[in-house]
Amino acid sequence: MPTETVDPRYTDLDRWPTENAVEAMLEGQIAAVAALKEQTGAIAAAAEAAAARLRAGGRLVYAGAGTSGRVAMQDGVELTPTYSWPGERLVFLIAGGMAALARSVEGAEDNVERACAEVDEAGIGRDDVVVGVAASGRTPYTVAVIEAARRAGALTIGVANNEGAPLLAAAEHPILADTGSEAVAGSTRMKAGTAQKVALNLLSTAIMLRLGRVYRGLMVNMRVSNAKLEARANAIVREAAEVSRERAAAALGEAGNDIALAILIARGMDPAVAADALHVHHGDLRAAIEAGSGAR
């Protein structure tokens, strides 16, 4: 596998001056991001298909083992504070369980039976979207999750760093981050891990775009949980509704710090009517506004 091969350019990396080594590793990180250039179409198609399932009430499921599992979980947990994606609509299937996020659980990534059992226990079905991540693309646990989820009717997306990998063949929407060999042979926490994180950032953000959780480039579904975010929320309402700081603060108060709802209120809508408009449009603020619900 390319991700496991030794690149002769780095054979004596441990003897290089530290700054030269860091420069070489940085070049690898830049190349890792560039490796996704040809995958924008695949990522967009996966995001659109995922949004359609999730709009029907499905869950977003992340699966992986080791570094890939940790990268996948990081992407998922950030969706709740950033986009108010409900925690009950997030599922994490990590080889070895949550304990494996902090320490290695020997043999967990090879446990195909456990992978299939976890898909069944989670009740994964047609409305769900399952994203499997594996640098090699051959991790038995992750491949088994994707195969079982697809049999159950879920939409499946696979992210891997080796062309022709079983994970990519198993997933309905394959995303190849072809990062090649690492500066430190086999250390896929480097280039491969970087490309995985970028691919997941693009995928999940595109999903949230299609679900209407972004309006005019603003995080209108962000959760307000501290003073810094209160100030940011006020700025978002001011910009989106074109109102004063005081009007934005009042609207946020009426909306219980629900930013999308506050924007509609600031635009002159009755709070109850605004809440209903967002419900009808599945939380899509732009759709609510364009339907005439949020006009002044």
DSSP string, 181-235: SBSSTT-TTTHHHHHHHHHHHHHHHHHHHHTT--BTTB-TT----SHHHHHHHHH
Residues in CB range of 138: below 8 A, 6 or more apart: 1, 162, 165, 166, 167
Indicate the pTM of the whole model: 0.91
- CATH number for the region 227-290 comes to 1.10.8.1080
Active site residue 78: yes
More confident: 186 or 239: 239
Q: Domain map of the chain by residue range?
A: 2-210, 227-290
pLDDT of residue 186: 78
At the fourth CATH level, which superfamily is domain 2-210? Glucose-6-phosphate isomerase like protein; domain 1 (3.40.50.10490)
pLDDT digits (tens, 9 = 90+) for 148-157: 999 999 999 9
Q: What is the pLDDT of residue 294?
A: 42
* Higher per-residue confidence, 195 vs 290: 195
> Among residues 27, 48, 88, 109, which one is catalytic?
109
| Catalytic site includes residue 109 | yes
User: Among 23, 27, 48, 78, which one carries the catalytic annotation?
Assistant: 78
